[in-house]
Amino acid sequence: MSRHAAAGMPALVWPSSLVRPSCPPKLVYLDLNHWIYLSQAASGARNGASYLPALEACRRACVAGRAVFVLSGAHYMELTKIADPAQRRRIAEVMEELSGFTTLLSRQIVVRLEIDALLDDRLGAMTEPKPSLNLLGHGVGHAFGKQSGFTIRNKYDGSDASDIARARIGAAAFDELMTRVNRLAERTLLGGPEDSEIPDLTRLGYVANIAEQVAQRRADQETAASAP
């Protein structure tokens, strides 16, 4: 008997279209305050000394493949609230080391899948089968329900020109270049810009707290929808 059934609670219904990761390794989600403590330990800060054993344990579990440390859209949004660029970068470095930019699927998508699964369980299948989605993915795109990674685009019609670029410079060189570009982009998106970069970025359309604004609008919509 499941723990929920024993407690008189309805059995949990996992969305059939949401692909769970295998276990082991264990899935580890840390709140931002824990990432801050680990970054203090990694940077050698005096107040981080007590967290050094935890950091080393996380590193060993990661290298041994016993644990997968994951990020979510909330981490990206919460990091933008930290005013000190140097502190953001230190936190982002530890996040990159332990997670490799492994991210959870967008919360909004997971909620929608859970509601569909609940309705199907209670009322019978009411909708067409949905394509499978992985709970775990890579990068900020996956965390916000978008396509992850960059592609080479034709400047005239916007079509995918990756195959053309690969043929011109060679498959190995192209793959290495794209790996470096995508890692740099992920690192920059997570850690955010330097203060000195913001004026030029703002002129190009950059909005510092756009992710927070989007999250607030969604929260307001959910609150309004749940009101009697």
pLDDT tens sequence across 38-74: 999 999 999 999 999 999 999 999 999 999 999 999 9
31 and 90 share one domain: yes
Are β-strands 133-134 and 136-138 bridged in parallel, bridged antiparallel, or unpaired? unpaired
- Based on the fold, state whether residues 165 and 186 are members of the same structural domain: yes
Has residue 52 been placed in a domain?
yes
> Do 80 and 191 contact (CB within 8 A), yes or no?
no
Shared-domain flag, residues 92 and 137 = yes
Instruction: Clarify whether residues 23 and 130 are in a common domain.
Output: yes
Q: What CA–CA distance (Å, rounded) separates 46 from 57?
A: 19
Query: What confidence score (pLDDT) does residue 83 get?
Result: 83
Q: What is the 3-state secondary structure (H, E, C) of the chain?
A: CCHHHHCCCCCCCCCCCEECCCCCCEEEECCHHHHHHHHHHHCCCHHHHHHHHHHHHHHHHHHCCCEEEEECHHHHHHHHCCCCHHHHHHHHHHHHHHHCCEEECCHHHHHHHHHHHHHHHHHCCCCCCCCCEECEEEHHHHHCCCCCCCCCECCCCCCECHHHHHHHHCHHHHHHHHHHHHHHHHHHHHHCCCHHHHHHHHHCCCCCCHHHHHHHHHHHHHHHHHCC
Report the pLDDT value the prediction gives residue 1, as an integer from 0 to 100.
40
| pLDDT-flagged residues of the chain (< 70) | 1-8, 10, 126-127, 193, 195-222, 225-228
Nearest to 192 by CA among 53, 49, 82: 82
Domains identified in the chain, total number = 3
Distance CA 130, CA 117 (A): 11
Residues 19 and 74 in one domain: yes
Q: According to the model, what pLDDT value does residue 112 have?
A: 87
157 and 217 in one domain? no
| 145-150-153-157 Cα dihedral, nearest 10 degrees | 20
Same domain assignment for residues 26 and 125: yes
Cis link prior to 24 (omega < 30° from 0)? Answer: yes
CA pair distance 209, 4, nearest whole angstrom: 39
Q: Which domain holds residue 172?
A: 149-192
165 located within any domain: yes
Query: Is residue 174 included in any domain, yes or no?
Result: yes
Is the residue at 92 inside a domain? yes
Residue 10 counted as domain residue:
no
Pairing of strands 136-138, 102-104: antiparallel
